[in-house]
Structure 1
Amino acid sequence: MIDYEEQETAEDSDELYEHHRIVVDKGQALLRVDKFLMDRLPNVTRNKLQSAIRSESVQVNEKPVKVSYKVKPLDVITITLAEPPRDTDIVPENIPLNILYEDNELLLVNKAAGMVVHPAYNNWTGTLVNALTYHLQNLPTTRNGEGRPGLIHRIDKDTSGLLVIAKTEYSMAYLAKQFYDHSIERTYYALVWGVPKQDAGTIVGHVGRSPKDRKVMTVYPEGDYGKHAVTHYKVLRKFKYVSLVQCNLETGRTHQIRAHMKYIGHPLFSDATYGGDKILQGVPNGTYKSFVENAFKIMPRQALHAKSLGFIHPETKEFLQFNSNLPEDFRSVLEKWELYEE
């Protein structure tokens, strides 16, 4: 049964997943949408359906509706959630993985940008989980055998970098507890527009979905909506119009770094979702415009890399720290900015 009241996504996920698509029959009489769905979806309470409708997880003809909306013949009703469908069969696929470390309890994968972590609507194949189920057998799962095999956290499709995968139920629980306690050390490198006023700082602000676009996260500084989020940052290098910033996550909310950096006025370079795919610093014309557009072509995704992970090993109880190199597109764009002269 889908729990429409528990829609917290895993770490750094930017996907929304279609769970149901219902086309109303031609002869359907006018009926409130919640009552209509109760008839169609077994084991879902009316309260949960109403909660999903109010949160805009239920849409009719690609638009949110009120609970009082009455369905009409040929209406197309979709239910879309931040969690993938829990009854999805995972098809094993022989996809090469960049495994940095592996033992009997866990493995570390350096995910390439562009790879979706979990199968979902429009991305049923070619994902990290498809690859993992081929290379490994009997991966543990979350939520009583349902959910994401071996995954304790996620990173966005177009974010590169490190993910830890549990190979046993014990490791799954042990590592998940460290994420829950915020004791996992997570370091990201981000290229952002502009130069922050302070060389180091902490961003505190609830992060929640935008009321205008549920694929975008917004910072709510008063904490009236969203979930508590804390990002520590440090400027590593300053270029003419951009900066390389190290971000350490204290919490792990969806799009946390991307939303927090935009909130303080420094969207990630080439991040289309948060406005970083436009020239935000410098005069957007002439050779400079050509230079930036070429950099966008080299790195047509948000400039964000999950560089390191530190945690206590479930079996040895030793603290382990893993690091990864920046991918080629990230390195190339940094080199361009380093050599840029107006």
Structure 2
Amino acid sequence: MNNIGDAVLYKNNQLIAFNKPAGIPVQKDPTEDKCLLDFAEIYCKSKLHLVNRIDRPTTGIVLFAKSSNAMTLMTKQFQEKKIVKYYLAVVANLPAEKEGKLVHYIQKKTKGNSSIASEDASKGGELAEMEYRHIGSIDRYHLLEIKLITGKHHQIRAQLAAIGCPIKGDTKYGFGRSNKDRSIHLHSKKISFTHPVSNEPVNLTAPVPNEVVWNAFNIEK
């Protein structure tokens, strides 16, 4: 990241949020590439605690706590489902219904860093739930807004693939071709929570990448 300061969405004594670009892992992965946590700790000149994660090819909001106490309080909000997260996804195929709720059981594969979503609970896996609605279309592509209810490994990617709607660029989950920059068109757009110290409501929004397909949808900044 050339200038991580430009990616800061929100900061105070307890928390800091960044708009992560595609291609950078949130934390160390097997590649040992420089990760967002590394850049963020250099920027803040202190140790940080990761509050939420998004995948390497995904863009959008990543939140860090600046103290163990703030992290504990944010974790409690996650456990109590008091943190609300919205994503945007670009797909080539529309779901059968323009809005609805997807319920699957997700299993992480032992190889390949991917997950399988099934409607059959007898196959095992963790319960995964999300709501979606169709909010726009251009040429060959459609824009979905997703409210994430649970947070499982590759959940949105696996659930959309399971209903025949893989995300643009996501060849791991069945899209026909990759994006040139190896990103996928999945963006962590909004997150709402209660500030861990002041108890004030916080609503964060991250602009989508400045890219042809995203720009074509004229998404409100």
TM > 0.5 = yes
Q: How many percent of aligned residue pairs carry the same amino acid?
A: 27
CA shift at 1:323, angstroms?
Answer: 0.6
**Partner letter of residue 12 of structure 2?**
D
Are 1:248 and 2:147 counterparts? Answer: yes
SS in 1 for 2:157: helix
Matching residue of 2:95: 196
Does the Cα contact within 8 Å between 1:95 and 1:131 map onto a contact in 2?
no
Match of 1:333 among 207, 213, 217: 213
Matching residue of 1:222: 120
**Partner letter of residue 120 of structure 2?**
E
Matching residue of 1:146: none
Matching residue of 2:85: 186
Number of residues of Structure 1 aligned to a counterpart in Structure 2: 216
Matching residue of 2:40: 132
Mapped partners of 2:8, 2:194: distance in 1:
19
SS in 2 for 1:265: coil
Change (3 A) 1:94 1:241: closer
> Comparing both structures, which one devotes a greater share of its residues to strand?
2
Mapped partners of 2:52, 2:138: distance in 1:
32
Match of 1:234 among 133, 137, 145: 133
- 1:297-329 deviations in whole A, cap 9, x for unaligned? 3x5321100001100000111111011111012
CA shift at 1:277, angstroms?
Answer: 3.4
**Partner letter of residue 131 of structure 2?**
H
Match of 1:110 among 12, 19, 23: 19
Find the structure with the greater CA-based Rg.
Answer: 1
Match of 2:159 among 260, 285, 298: 260
SS in 2 for 1:135: helix
TM-score if structure 2 supplies the norm length? 0.89
Unmatched runs of 5 consecutive residues or more in structure 1? 1-92, 140-148, 279-292
Q: Report 1:204-219 matches (<5 A).
A: 204-210=103-109, 213-219=111-117
Mapped partners of 2:42, 2:126: distance in 1:
35
Change (3 A) 1:94 1:234: closer
Match of 1:322 among 199, 204, 220: 204
TM-score if structure 1 supplies the norm length? 0.59
Are 1:164 and 2:63 counterparts? Answer: yes
Mapped partners of 2:57, 2:103: distance in 1:
24
Does the Cα contact within 8 Å between 2:118 and 2:162 map onto a contact in 1?
no
- 1:22-43 deviations in whole A, cap 9, x for unaligned? xxxxxxxxxxxxxxxxxxxxxx
CA shift at 1:337, angstroms?
Answer: 8.2
CA shift at 1:263, angstroms?
Answer: 0.8
Matching residue of 2:187: 305
Mapped partners of 1:307, 1:152: distance in 2:
16
RMSD over equivalenced CA pairs, Å: 2.2
**Partner letter of residue 30 of structure 2?**
Y
Higher relative contact order (CA 8 A, sep 6+): 2
Mapped partners of 1:207, 1:217: distance in 2:
6
